[in-house]
Structure 1
Amino acid sequence: MTTPLPLFLRPTITCTLPETAMVMAAGLGKRMRPLTATRPKPLIEVAGRSLLDRALDGVAAAGIEHVVVNAHYFADQIEAAVKSRQHPARIDVSDERALLLETGGGIANALPLIRGDSFFTINADNMWINGPVDTLRLIAARWNPDEMDALLLLVPLARAHGYDGRGDFHMDGLGQLTPHGGLKVAPFVYSGLQIIARHLFDGEPAEPFTMWRAWNKALAKGRMFGLSHPGLWFHVGTPASIGETEVLLAEA
């Protein structure tokens, strides 16, 4: 694999960052059993560091000042892990103990905690490694609220380590997205990282629903876009995928 540039040689991007990043950490992690019998999936370690810490490390490195983490399964452990971090930003926990709200409902429930007209969402079970520049800053530099309601970081299917599906999206030359549909294979996989407009969740109740309810609003208006990730990406979804990811990380 290509050797990454030393930090002092890497280019930087000047951009306006969203104020808040929401890390989605409330899932049950059923495919990760038996490891999730006594702990939530975001606290499973890969190469000595938990998935949640890795996501929060990426947020901190980008310079984002506020984080929201949602919690349902073993919520006390998520709260304790957040409190133990030496994080330069404020971290709020969105409590879903009473009912697991899925991705869209989790955001609707957390909306009073989220700052700004747009914000990052990050799935805690997906790991990204920066390419030549910081990944979150790369997305923020591409974000244009005048033409976008959602901007998804995508991974080419051939480089989607740990992913066993048929792809999620097609992307045209301008970055506009269409979903998989009935075709056999789609060339891009959703990385679990995006910037999304707050207004897509206006009026939505704090009830279980997926991200697609918001995405479908953006798709209907031609305001859903993607950006191909230039670095490494891993979906850590099963116990076997942990070792596979650690091997690839060591090689990188």
Structure 2
Amino acid sequence: MSTKMHPILKPAQAMVLAAGLGKRMRPMTDKMPKPLVPVAGKPMLDHVLDRLGDAGFDRVVVNNHYLGEMISAHVAKRDFPLVVNSAEAELLETGGGVQNALPLLDDTAILVANADMYWTEGREPLFERMMDAFDAEHMDALLAIVPVEGAFGYDGAGDFFWQVDGRLKRRGSAPRAPYVFTGIQILNPRLFEGLLPGNFSLNVIYDRALESGRCYGLVHDGRWFHIGTPDALADAERTLAGQ
């Protein structure tokens, strides 16, 4: 159990997305779900759960699908935080996965994080910064972003422009955008209202928040590692070892 418990400054519960197939990480993921692939000495999923515990979350929902029994068995061995499994008989993608778990979550705000990534903290822990910054009066979504230039292992064209008032704008038809989404966010569950259950991306949710002018960004001031392939994992490990 963490000995450093930070108060939760905004009403929120947490969910970790751990149901993906991890196809690009093969052959490592032929017999292991990607969230259990170790980085910096422990599975990526444990890094996320440990940081949620440090931020004050004592109960976290984790979804699973591909090799889901391994996810369930792994989190059952943990002492803290308490993990509630949300098993998916069929892969629901990110949006469908969160929607499926809503009955297990808070109805005010949900912190959602991907289980298959790694980051280092900046001046303050990222989860605490996110909770401090989330303003339910003006925001329906707050996405943690990083500059494309500093995103380790990322070679895409970027996802968002970060505007002067903190709102996000999609890259759209622009050749490049300066920021990439980290996979960490706080969402208002009302963004899911009226959506039929099923398989869909969280991009549907972001579009709703963007259209209403209630989608904001927070720039992470630590390092973020995009670990999509075994080669990228090896590069990340070498970089972290040299820090």
SS of 1:36's equivalent in the other structure is coil
Within 5 Å, give how 1:1-252 maps onto structure 2: 16-87=9-80, 89-96=81-88, 98-252=89-243
SS of 1:35's equivalent in the other structure is coil
Flag as ranges the 4+ runs of structure 1 deviating above 4 A: 12-15
Q: What is the CA distance between 1:244 and its match in structure 2? A: 1.1
CA contact (8 A) 2:148 2:180 kept: yes
SS of 2:152's equivalent in the other structure is coil
CA contact (8 A) 1:19 1:65 kept: no
Percent identical across equivalent pairs? 43
Structure 1 CA distance for aligned equivalents of residues 233 and 13 of structure 2: 29
What letter is aligned with 2:68? A
Structure 2 CA distance for aligned equivalents of residues 183 and 121 of structure 1: 28
What letter is aligned with 1:114? L
What letter is aligned with 2:19? A
- 1:73-107 Cα shifts (integer Å, max 9, x gaps): 001000001101121x32111111x2100000001
Structure 1 CA distance for aligned equivalents of residues 201 and 34 of structure 2: 19
TM-score by length of 2: 0.94
Structure 2 CA distance for aligned equivalents of residues 40 and 13 of structure 1: 30
SS of 2:29's equivalent in the other structure is helix
What letter is aligned with 1:157? V
CA contact (8 A) 1:131 1:232 kept: yes
Structure 2 CA distance for aligned equivalents of residues 20 and 140 of structure 1: 10
Structure 2 CA distance for aligned equivalents of residues 132 and 15 of structure 1: 18
- Unpaired segments of 5 or more residues in structure 2? none
In the alignment of these two chains, the number of paired residues is: 239
Q: CA RMSD in A?
A: 1.5
Q: What is the CA distance between 1:241 and its match in structure 2? A: 1.1
1:63–1:128 Cα change, 3 Å: same
Structure 2 CA distance for aligned equivalents of residues 25 and 33 of structure 1: 16
- Unpaired segments of 5 or more residues in structure 1? 1-11
Structure 2 CA distance for aligned equivalents of residues 14 and 27 of structure 1: 31
Could you say which residue in structure 2 is the equivalent of 1:7? none
CA contact (8 A) 2:191 2:208 kept: yes
What letter is aligned with 2:83? I
